[in-house]
Structure 1
Amino acid sequence: MEGQLVKLLAALMVCAGCLMTYLASNRQRLLAKPVLRELAWITFAVLQTAAVLLLASVYGPVAGALLVLVLVMCLWTGLVLAAAHLHGRPLLVGSLAAILFSLIMVTG
């Protein structure tokens, strides 16, 4: 049970970091004005590092880092596709990403 919670927390951290970097882009379609770029990238780096450290306790350091890398690539692609269809709804896009990737991490 503890491992499932760790994976869930790591997935939520990865989602939050990826959403922040998307919201910092000039081409994002969810907010009227982009988030400050420096703040978004610092948040991204801190959250991804924390996710790697959490997953390293479950899978090992290399597997944890690779898992975070794969999740980041999938989330950036998914955020762009979701934001194109859900224009102006950042809460819906973020919650859909968090739910989907949390389910992926917990179930398999």
Structure 2
Amino acid sequence: MRATRPLFQFQLRRPQRHNLRTFSSTPLRLRPQTRQGPTQPERPVNFYQVHGRAFAKVVTLSFLTYQITYWTWLLLETEAIRDEKDREIKSLEQEVRLLDEGRKGHKPGAG
């Protein structure tokens, strides 16, 4: 008789030990180098190649936010000035009416 093999073989997996250095908050460039050999210094161009699109997006959105805020502030300030001038005009018109009524009510020659 032949020995039958099970249809499924269960294997217990051992937990993997993670290298704690990969979970460090220290940036890679500040960590001690484990490899010895010629290392190429990081050029500023590398920063923009990696982060250029994000940098451009932040600058563009900042400029757009500034322009919207400036335009809104200018609009509100213009409305406030216009409202102040309208109130001043109404008060001056009221003063002219009062002076005109006083002039008409005053009889010439009586004095």
> What TM-score do the two structures reach when normalised by structure 2?
0.24
User: Highest Rg: 1 or 2?
Assistant: 2
Higher-RCO chain (CA-CA 8 Å, sequence separation at least 6): 1
Higher helix share: 1
